[in-house]
Amino acid sequence: MQSNILSIKTEKLVVDGCEHYKIVSIAGMNRDSLPKKYFDKSPYCYMYDGEMRVIINSVHKCQMTIKVKDIISIESFEVLSKIIQTCCDKLKNINKEIADMKEEWSGEKTIIFK
C-alpha cells in the first residue's frame, strides 16, 4: 500500500580530497500523487520534471533541487537524508490518518425526514 516517496542511487567519489556523492538516479512520487495535507507544513519533498524538490521551509522559500549527475558533499548529503526521512515519516503519518478516517467513515447512514 505505502510506496516510497523517494529513492536516491549514488556513487561515492573523492573530489579535491573530500568525500562526495554523485547522484546516479532519483525516483519517487510526483507532487500530484501526494495528499494535499502533506504540503500544509514544511518540510516536504517530491519529484518534478525529473528532479527532486526538497522544500525545507516554505515560509522563507528555502529549498533544494537535486538532479541526476549532481555532486554533493557527504555532509550536505547527511543533512539532506535527515530532511528526506522527516518528510517520509510525515507522509506515513498522514497516510495512516487517511486510512483510519476511511475506515471510520465508511458504511451507510439513512436519514428519514417526516
Domain boundaries, the chain: 6-102
Average pLDDT over residues 34-52: 91
Cis status, amide bond into 43, omega within 30 of 0: yes
Task: Give pLDDT tens digits for 46-74.
Answer: 999 889 999 888 777 788 899 999 999 99
CB 54 within 8 A of CB 38: no
Helices first, then strands: H and E counts in the chain: 1, 6
- How confident is the prediction for the chain on average, in pLDDT? 89
pLDDT at 109: 81
Q: Cα-flanking dihedrals φ and ψ of residue 38, to 5°?
A: -60, -30
Alpha carbon 33 to chain centroid distance?
11
Q: Whole-prediction pTM value?
A: 0.80
Sequence-separated (6 or more) residues with CB below 8 Å from residue 18: 73, 74
Cell triple for residue 92?
506515513
* pLDDT at residue 1 tops 50: no
